[in-house]
Amino acid sequence: MINKHICVLWATLLISFYIDAQDTLVYNIPKVYNFENIQGDTIANAQFAVTFFEKLYAQKQRNNQKINILHIGDSHLQADYITHTTRVSLQKIFGNAGRGFVSPLKISKSNEPFNYQTTSSNNWKSTRCVSSKISQSIGLGGMSIKTQDSNALIQLKTYNTDSMDYSFNKIILYHTKADSTYTIQISDSSSNQLFPSQQPELPYRSTFLIAKNKSIVKISTLKTDTIQKSFTFFGALLENGNSGILYHCVGINGAKYKDYFKTADFCNQTSSLSPDVILISLGTNESFQKNYNSEKFYKEIDTLVSKLYIANPNAPIILTTPANSFYYHHINNNLPLIRQTIIQYASDKKLAYWDLFSITGGEKSAVLWKKANLLSKDGIHYSKDGYIHQGNLLTKAIINAYNKYVSIRQ
């Protein structure tokens, strides 16, 4: 006869396993390549980002959380293919809280993500964090546009993509506020003027609420005082009022770690998002240096991370390593060194990290990526399919780390 205590214990274990199985998630990458280390696709040192995974768990259980993910990077992110793939995938699992932060990249005469569009016929002077001379304030987007036209007009439009509705009923404008700054007005697609929220606001933000979700708004300037001379715009935060994921992508072509701490405004303004996690995907542009200095690079990582921690003391930071690529048609031999420094820093400072370099095949894997049509012609950037694949890998890594957290959660 089977001991009744053993039966009770076995039943308890089965129930526990069933609960864990119910809480864990399945995410399948559409295509896997045999040169990749898919088994290693997870967030290393994920215990240092436990608050992020706990909030994902709370959202999955109660559907009452707004989770802000801030992802900072270079040209690999500016087009938003990686982050769009991860954004949509996570929103399908945890809920769509909106498109998140957007920058007026097109108006600055640079490439802009495909899921929104900014347009203006006025004259604007643009500055990016990578500029050798910073002539105007740079905010959360790592760039800004400035005009002296007193009747300037910006149209901002979002596009629904991959079954995601990115219309919004709340828009937060990021811009300079001073006596010399033009007054701003905003209207929806039906030409209804919107009025700023009466709630206390930060000195670089203005919040507007919309009665019904819209996909188009118009932002205009108005000179109401003789001392007003200009208007500087950093970007906008778009929300729909639902719980779920807000995935904010900040990517600037050519950016390095040191570019994002040139001005205090960028790091300081990240706190306005109340990020639950910050991902940093940089290092490719540092690898182009002829005389790579790991000690110098280590200090640059530390400076940016430290400034972000000052602004966001409760937000875990996840560093990512860049995948292998070419430089002047040769394998970039500095990338393994870049990877090593990033992982060393993460280990020293107790940070989580995602080792994209080893996951995608490691040294000389760029040759295989090229054969698979995952690299672009310049050998540095990736094809659209390559970026989408990296977005799927990132999603898989987050889900794998989440499942591990759920399995040991007390």
161 Cβ neighbours under 8 A, 6+ residues apart: 84, 88, 114, 115
Residue the block writes with tokens 């989580």: 352
336 Cβ neighbours under 8 A, 6+ residues apart: 357, 362, 363
Please tell me whether residues 106 and 170 are part of one structural domain. yes
- Out of 241, 264, 291, pick the residue that ends a domain: 241
Closest by Cα among 150, 215, 143, 144 to 181: 150
Please tell me whether residues 214 and 298 are part of one structural domain. no
Which pLDDT score is estimated for 290? 87
Please tell me whether residues 375 and 281 are part of one structural domain. yes
Which contacts (CB < 8 Å, 24+ apart) does range 299-307 have?
A: 300/256, 300/257, 300/258, 301/257, 301/341, 301/342, 301/345, 302/345, 302/349, 303/257, 303/258, 303/261, 304/257, 304/258, 304/260, 304/261, 304/267, 304/280, 305/280, 305/345, 305/349, 305/351, 307/261, 307/267
Please tell me whether residues 195 and 276 are part of one structural domain. no
Which pLDDT score is estimated for 263? 86
Average pLDDT, stretch 380-388?
Answer: 98
**Is 336 part of a structural domain of the chain?**
yes
Does residue 73 have a pLDDT over 60?
Answer: yes
Which pLDDT score is estimated for 139? 95
**Is 19 part of a structural domain of the chain?**
no
- Out of 241, 262, 296, pick the residue that ends a domain: 241
Please tell me whether residues 139 and 248 are part of one structural domain. no
Which pLDDT score is estimated for 18? 40
Q: What are phi and psi of 101, to 5 degrees?
A: -80, 140
Dist CA 42 CA 401 (whole Å): 6
Q: What is the CATH number of the domain that holds 86?
A: 3.40.50.1110
Average pLDDT, stretch 371-385?
Answer: 97
* Helix orientation angle between 81-94 and 50-62, rounded to the nearest 10 degrees: 50
Give the three-state DSSP class for 299.
Answer: helix
How many domains does one find in the chain? 2
**Confidence tier at 334 by pLDDT (50, 70, 90):** very high
Please tell me whether residues 152 and 279 are part of one structural domain. no
Quote the domain boundaries for residue 80.
Answer: 27-97+244-410
Share of the chain above pLDDT 70, in %: 95
Query: Which two three-digit tokens encode residue 268?
Result: 């300081």
**Confidence tier at 22 by pLDDT (50, 70, 90):** low
Digit-coded pLDDT (tens) for 353-371: 999 999 999 999 999 999 9
Q: What is the CATH number of the domain that holds 218?
A: 2.60.120.1360
| Amino acid at site 50 | V
Please tell me whether residues 46 and 191 are part of one structural domain. no
Digit-coded pLDDT (tens) for 206-243: 999 999 999 999 999 999 999 999 999 999 999 999 99
Digit-coded pLDDT (tens) for 89-136: 999 999 999 999 999 999 999 999 999 999 999 999 999 999 988 989
Please tell me whether residues 60 and 143 are part of one structural domain. no
**Is 318 part of a structural domain of the chain?**
yes
Please tell me whether residues 212 and 339 are part of one structural domain. no
Please tell me whether residues 192 and 333 are part of one structural domain. no
**Confidence tier at 13 by pLDDT (50, 70, 90):** very low
Average pLDDT over the chain reads 93
Digit-coded pLDDT (tens) for 148-157: 999 999 999 9
- Out of 190, 220, 241, pick the residue that ends a domain: 241
Dist CA 314 CA 40 (whole Å): 27
Please tell me whether residues 276 and 130 are part of one structural domain. no
Average pLDDT, stretch 178-205?
Answer: 91
**Is 13 part of a structural domain of the chain?**
no
Please tell me whether residues 203 and 112 are part of one structural domain. yes
Give the number of residues written for the chain.
Answer: 410
**Is 6 part of a structural domain of the chain?**
no
**Is 18 part of a structural domain of the chain?**
no
**Is 254 part of a structural domain of the chain?**
yes
